[in-house]
Chain A
Amino acid sequence: MNAPVYRKWQCIACGEIFDEALGSPADGIPPGTRLEDLPDDWLCPNCGALKASFILMED
């Protein structure tokens, strides 16, 4: 079975990176959490931008 493919997203306002593989355990987001599974009112933890401000990072 293939390992799940996780993606990285970047806040276009401040550059914060959300790595789905790592999550953010200290903020209560476990490793393996997809960006789309975060609540719609989730904000960039660094600058407070909306979830929609995160764009997919290219490899």
Chain B
Amino acid sequence: MSDLKIPTELVAPIFNPASYADRAKMEKMLAHLRHNYPLSIAEVPGYDPHWIVTKYKDVREITRQDNIFHSGDRSKTPASQIAEQMMRDYSGGKPHIFRTLVHMDPPDHTAHRDLVKENFMPQNIAALETSIREMARRHVDHMASLGTTCDFAGDIAMNYPLEVVCTLIGLPKEDHAIMLRLTQWFLSYADPDLCRPGSVLTDPEEQIKTWQIVYDEFKRYYGSVIKDRQACPRHDLASTIANGKIHGCPMDERSMISYFVIASTAGHDTTAATIANSMWTLATQPGLLARLKAEPALIPNFVEEAIRWTSPAMCFIRSAAEDYELSGRQIKKGDLLYISYLSANRDEEMFDTPYEFRLDRTPNRHIGFGYGAHICVGQHLARLEMRLLWEELIPRLESVEMAGEGKWQESEFVCGPKFVPIRFKMN
């Protein structure tokens, strides 16, 4: 049995957003934890103790038992003691500023998820293929118009899934940039290139200040959308949410605004991260582009492996609602657990050669979309978006290489490349 407590200097980076910008170092640290402290405790000053869960089997065992490992009782992302107290002050004693699907447990989670679940079933998502392919084609045309170099992250990856999800919600094109900006303020609050202007990144209260501002901005924006769709429903996601009933009653305001927040942020940011990293991979792995051009039937495998490879959601926090024995450890009621999806998707006990990007990984049972009842509701949309983009782009992409150094975001929660400079030829 490994040590119960992880040396603080070893594990502290896991709580620091800046650490995630050095992807290689982060992966090395997680591998060390997985091999030497597979389910052990981090006691980092300023934070409550957390079990650090790095093994695939442990992550799955926890995340499929929502009745035991709650999502709604504590912050869902790593939060300092100061940040948690600020969230409670702001939200009237609740542990979250937002109240999205991510922050709920059954039966609330089930009732709220049911509102949109049918829209996101694969057979209903498939009906969107023609319109999404047209969007993909336009973004590929745009890339071709840029000449021979671009920042693929900023020029293509961030904008295409943004357009898809904003169109599904029913937002006008001129407002898409607002959604991107608020998403970056929210999910990349600590990244100096993407954070809210005026943020003081050295201030331990900055994260919560920014989230309060983001919540209020979304509330201001969606207030008029909600009124409009309640008065005159259309065939869009905004109408479904604005008129949504939970157990026969209208949603409370915080839940409704939060529903729009998660659709407007998580609905594109993780896909953008995966698309950006897919291109980075194409530009650096010899032979990958040629193989996909020769065998386009492998594009779905490419998408699936890119999700595992990127694992854009780094982590979620759960809290134990009762005592539980997990892999020989005694988890006590109230304990916090840091769930590392990135580590689980590199677990050698689950994946052969996990540090190789392989098109022949079948089945690819990664948990990049999560696992259990909280599995990403938009997973089938994300897969479709990515498949269509690569089906449109790869036949036209003759060559690609990095034209400079790529950069990862400084983000401990959703994390992807923020800068992917490439040199390319297209037909």
A49 and B373 within 8 A (CB)? yes
A17 and B122 within 8 A (CB)? yes
Partner of A24, one of B121, B363, B371, B379: B363
Which residues from A are CB-within-8-Å of B64?
Answer: 43, 47-49
Query: What separation, in Å, do the CA atoms of A15 and B365 have in the docked complex?
Result: 15
List the 6 closest A-B pairs by CB distance, nearest first. Answer: A48-B64, A26-B363, A47-B375, A15-B121, A15-B122, A14-B375
Query: What separation, in Å, do the CA atoms of A26 and B375 have in the docked complex?
Result: 22
User: Which residues of A (7-38) have their CB < 8 Å from a CB of B?
Assistant: 10, 13-15, 17, 24, 26-27
Q: Any chain A CB within 8 A of the CB of B223?
A: no
Query: What separation, in Å, do the CA atoms of A18 and B229 have in the docked complex?
Result: 37
A14 and B365 within 8 A (CB)? no
Which residues from B are CB-within-8-Å of A49?
Answer: 64, 372-373
In the complex formed, the residue of A with least CB distance to B380 is A15
Tell me the A residues contacting B by CB distance below 8 Å: 10, 13-15, 17, 24, 26-27, 43, 45-49
In the complex formed, the residue of B with least CB distance to A53 is B373
User: Which residues of B (365-386) have their CB < 8 Å from a CB of A?
Assistant: 365, 371-373, 375, 379-380
B365 and A48 within 8 A (CB)? no
Which residues from A are CB-within-8-Å of B60?
Answer: 48
Query: What separation, in Å, do the CA atoms of A24 and B363 have in the docked complex?
Result: 9
Which residues from A are CB-within-8-Å of B371?
Answer: 47-48
- A14 vs chain B, min Cβ distance (A): 5
A-B Cβ contacts below 8 A, count: 32
- Known A-B contacts A48-B371, A49-B373; A10 and B121 likewise in contact (beta carbons under 8 Å): yes
Q: Any chain A CB within 8 A of the CB of B362?
A: yes
Q: Any chain A CB within 8 A of the CB of B355?
A: no
- Known A-B contacts A24-B363, A26-B363, A48-B60; A13 and B375 likewise in contact (beta carbons under 8 Å): yes
- Known A-B contacts A47-B373, A48-B60; A14 and B379 likewise in contact (beta carbons under 8 Å): yes
- A32 vs chain B, min Cβ distance (A): 18
Which residues from A are CB-within-8-Å of B379?
Answer: 14-15
Query: B95-123 vs A: 1/0 string, CB under 8 Å?
Result: 00000000000000000000000001110
Query: What separation, in Å, do the CA atoms of A26 and B365 have in the docked complex?
Result: 11
Which residues from B are CB-within-8-Å of A47?
Answer: 64, 371-373, 375
Q: List 24 A-B contacts (CB under 8 A).
A: A10-B121, A13-B373, A15-B120, A15-B121, A15-B122, A15-B380, A17-B122, A24-B363, A26-B362, A26-B363, A27-B363, A43-B64, A46-B375, A47-B64, A47-B371, A47-B372, A47-B375, A48-B63, A48-B64, A48-B371, A48-B372, A49-B64, A49-B372, A49-B373
- A33 vs chain B, min Cβ distance (A): 15
B375 and A45 within 8 A (CB)? no
Query: What separation, in Å, do the CA atoms of A47 and B363 have in the docked complex?
Result: 14
- B186 vs chain A, min Cβ distance (A): 25
Which residues from A are CB-within-8-Å of B380?
Answer: 15
Which residues from A are CB-within-8-Å of B363?
Answer: 24, 26-27, 45
Query: What separation, in Å, do the CA atoms of A46 and B78 have in the docked complex?
Result: 26
Which residues from B are CB-within-8-Å of A27?
Answer: 363
Query: What separation, in Å, do the CA atoms of A14 and B379 have in the docked complex?
Result: 9
In the complex formed, the residue of B with least CB distance to A45 is B365
User: Which residues of B (31-83) have their CB < 8 Å from a CB of A?
Assistant: 60, 63-64
Query: What separation, in Å, do the CA atoms of A27 and B362 have in the docked complex?
Result: 9
Which residues from A are CB-within-8-Å of B63?
Answer: 48
Q: Which of A14, A45, A48 has most chain B Cβ within 10 Å?
A: A14
12 further contact pairs, Cβ within 8 A, besides A15-B380, A48-B63, A49-B373: A10-B121, A13-B375, A15-B122, A17-B122, A24-B363, A27-B363, A43-B64, A45-B363, A46-B375, A47-B371, A47-B375, A48-B371
Query: What separation, in Å, do the CA atoms of A26 and B122 have in the docked complex?
Result: 21
Query: What separation, in Å, do the CA atoms of A43 and B380 have in the docked complex?
Result: 19
- A29 vs chain B, min Cβ distance (A): 11
